Copies of this chain bind each other. A is one copy, B any other.
Amino acid sequence: MSNLTHVDASGSANMVDVNSKAETVRVATAEAFIYMSQATIDEVLAHQNKKGDVLTTAKIAGIMAAKKCSDLIPLCHPLMLSQVDVDIEVQAEQLRLRVTSLCKLSGKTGVEMEALTAVSVAALTLFDMCKASDPNMRIEGMRVLSKSGGKTGDWQHPNT
């Protein structure tokens, strides 16, 4: 059975020591989807054509959130991200928006939580900006897509 490194001998959570880990270039990508009604997708598309503000606002929110990851997740280490990308694709036929992120740094611990935090807050921002139009929206399929660097090396989610 795998070994949960965040739990100390007495069973209490701690921010584990990563000092002895190797400093390598680490990249992680993540994704999430937000499902909305046809009318709301249409509104987003119309705004995107005109100004793109809904998408840009969500994108900026996602980038800023990646930098706050260790403030939000109790046992995440503070990190100096060297890159954060967030992209949002309107997949109108599936009645959804796809949010993806990429985080990168040269460091001693992985950045998948930063990548997940970015897609999470970008999706919540889309929710906030569209909720007057469709309060029934759902955020689905939030997961890590891939990781590279560190001890485990390249990893990809089996369903990609």
Contact = CB atoms under 8 A, between A and B. Distances in A.
B124 A59 contact: no
Which secondary structure dominates chain A's binding surface? mixed
A18 B2 CA distance: 35
A139 B142 contact: yes
Contacts of A116: 124, 127
Interface string A1-22: 1111111101111111111000
Contacts of A112: 131, 135
B129 A13 contact: yes
A6 B60 CA distance: 12
A72 B73 CA distance: 14
Total identical chains: 6
Interface residues of A, number: 96
A105 B18 CA distance: 9
A2 B133 contact: yes
Interface string A49-77: 01111111101110111111011111111
Nearest to A134: B2
B82 A108 contact: yes
B137 A140 contact: no
A99 interface: no
Interface of A: 1-8, 10-19, 25, 32, 39-40, 42-43, 47, 50-57, 59-61, 63-68, 70-87, 104-106, 108, 112-113, 116-117, 120-121, 123-125, 127-144, 147, 155, 157-159
